[in-house]
Amino acid sequence: MSPGAAVSTPVAAHLHIAEPPKGVDDKTEAAGVPSWGLGPFVRCPENPLISPRSDTKFFCPLEKKDVAWESKDIVGAAAAVKDGKVYWLYRAEPQVMGHSRVGLAISEDGIHFKRNPTPVIYPDEDAFKKYEWPGGTEDGRIVMREDGLYLYFYPAWNRSGHAWQSVATSRDLVHWTKQGPVYALDPKTGFAVVPTTGLEKGGTVVSRYYDDGRVVAEKINGKYWMYTIGFNVATSDDCIHWTPVVDAKGKAIKVLPSRSGGGKFDSNLIEPGPPPIVTPKGILVIYHGGENDPKVGDPNLPKRAYSGGQALFDLKDPTKMIARCDNYFLTPRMPYELNSSAGAPVCFMEGLVRFKGKWLLYYEAGDYVGCMASCDQPGFETTTAK
């Protein structure tokens, strides 16, 4: 049994089984990769790579007891490469739904992972408890700043119906320091001064990908740029404190709309994926088209399906979309993607790294297990290490 495999999975009874998509195969997904895009991606034969396990216990400082913190679901798939190894930060849930914590797994080949027995980011008796409890620290994305500081962007959720886009920092990907919500907060409401979607999450930072595996946040016009759920946009001087980009009326702008009513996979919810890639042709954004409604969305996909798409934004103006895919390049169709914990068949992509000559795309499947798909596209742009 590999280090990342489930030790016991008595929780499978909670899964919802979706019908498979109609007429979808490898060729269908490959055809969804635009000429300027990245792909096609091939699922790892050993999927799922990370599954729930009940043998790891963690003393929760808030519940004051040992909990099987990753016994129900594995959600989230942020990834980074350091010292020739892949570091995977994933969100895990115990049987008490909503108490999310962030776990760490490390691999030398990108497939077989050794998991840390305790979480590395979690709700605690600290200044951020009011944002994170009793909900948790949820799944996020990782980038590196040019000075070597790693940043993990995650939603803090206290089960109030609102989330706070937050960030934690680290020098080694193991020990993390919470920095709190990324936006300036209104002292009266406790929410962002400039509201985005009301559910502030999904933050992913435009980055340059190096052939040695580093994913480094890129400044454009002197600023770092972040896309969030609903495709609001924010900028930052330090990659920690962020300001939403607003229109003339002071409202947060949206730069990638859903395509409702056209039979598309992205007719409903739109959310960014892994850190967008700086390429000579533009900023390549991998995104999710979620909560498919077959009546107005893609009739061949299951209800509530989350599929992957790609869009291209202007290098000089990250708010300007210049191209968009016609169809998905990855959609739930394997049993481990259709067996969902939250009732939605999911391919939710949050980690992308260049590792040993290939692109590895890490994603959560069915809100239940962690998976990977790879792409061998030598001509696709990376920057030589310096």
Condensed to tens digits (0 to 9), the pLDDT of residues 205-245 reads 999 999 999 999 999 999 999 999 989 999 999 999 999 99
How far is residue 284's CA from residue 33's CA, in Å, rounded to a whole number? Answer: 12
How far is residue 226's CA from residue 96's CA, in Å, rounded to a whole number? Answer: 32
User: For position 381, what pLDDT does the model report?
Assistant: 66
User: For position 9, what pLDDT does the model report?
Assistant: 35
| Three-state SS sequence of the chain | CCCCCCCCCCCHHHCEECCCCCCCCHHHHHHCCCCCCCCCCEECCCCCCECCCCCCCEEECCCCEEECCCCCEEEEEEEEEECCEEEEEEEEECCCCCCEEEEEEEECCCCCEEECCCCCECCCCCCCHHHHCCCEECCCEEEECCCCCEEEEEEEECCCCCEEEEEEEECCCCCCEEEEECECECCCCCCECCCCCCCCCCCEECEEEECCCCEEECEECCEEEEECHHHEEEEECCCCCEEECECCCCCECECCCCCCCCCCCCCCEEEECCCCEEECCEEEEEEEEECCCCCCCCCCCCCCCEEEEEEEECCCCCCCEEEECCCCCECCCCHHHHEECCCCCEEEEEEEEEECCEEEEEEEECCCEEEEEEECCCCCCCECCC
pLDDT score of 12 more than 80? no
Write b or e for each residue in 343-374: b if 16 or more Cβ atoms lie within 10 A of its Cβ, otherwise e: ebbbbbbbbbbbbeeebbbbbbbbbbbbbbbe
Condensed to tens digits (0 to 9), the pLDDT of residues 116-136 reads 999 999 999 999 999 999 999
* Confidence at 380, pLDDT banded by 50, 70, 90: confident
Rounded mean pLDDT of 290-308?
Answer: 95
Q: Residue for token digits 């962030």?
A: 102
**CB-based burial of residue 83 (10 Å sphere; 0-12 exposed, 13-18 middle, 19+ buried)?**
exposed
Rounded mean pLDDT of 295-309?
Answer: 96
Cα–Cα distances (Å) from 316 to 207, 223, 278, in that order, read 14, 11, 11
Condensed to tens digits (0 to 9), the pLDDT of residues 169-180 reads 999 999 999 999
What does pTM read for this prediction? 0.95
How far is residue 99's CA from residue 105's CA, in Å, rounded to a whole number? Answer: 19
pLDDT score of 366 more than 50? yes
End-to-end CA distance of the chain: 39
- Structure tokens given for 370: 């962690």
pLDDT score of 4 more than 60? no
User: For position 11, what pLDDT does the model report?
Assistant: 40
Contact present, 364 and 73 (Cβ < 8 Å): no
* Confidence at 382, pLDDT banded by 50, 70, 90: low
Higher pLDDT, residue 244 or 381: 244
Q: How many C-beta atoms surround the C-beta of residue 329 within 10 A?
A: 27
CA angle 20, 25, 30 (to 5 degrees): 130
- Which residues, in sequence order, are CB contacts of 126 under 8 Å at separation 6+? 178
Mean pLDDT of the chain: 92
pLDDT score of 10 more than 70? no
What whole-number percentage of the chain has pLDDT above 90? Answer: 84
pLDDT score of 5 more than 70? no
Q: Which of 6-20, 61-75, 309-323 has the lowest mean pLDDT?
A: 6-20
Q: Residue for token digits 């790579």?
A: 49
My answer on whether omega of the bond before 48 falls inside 30° of 0, hence cis, is: yes
Q: Which domains does the chain have, with CATH numbers?
A: 12-375 (2.115.10.20)
How far is residue 219's CA from residue 84's CA, in Å, rounded to a whole number? Answer: 26
How far is residue 338's CA from residue 17's CA, in Å, rounded to a whole number? Answer: 6
Rounded mean pLDDT of 51-63?
Answer: 96
pLDDT score of 166 more than 70? yes
Q: Which of 9-18, 30-39, 50-59, 308-317 has the lowest mean pLDDT?
A: 9-18
Higher pLDDT, residue 219 or 14: 219
User: For position 1, what pLDDT does the model report?
Assistant: 33
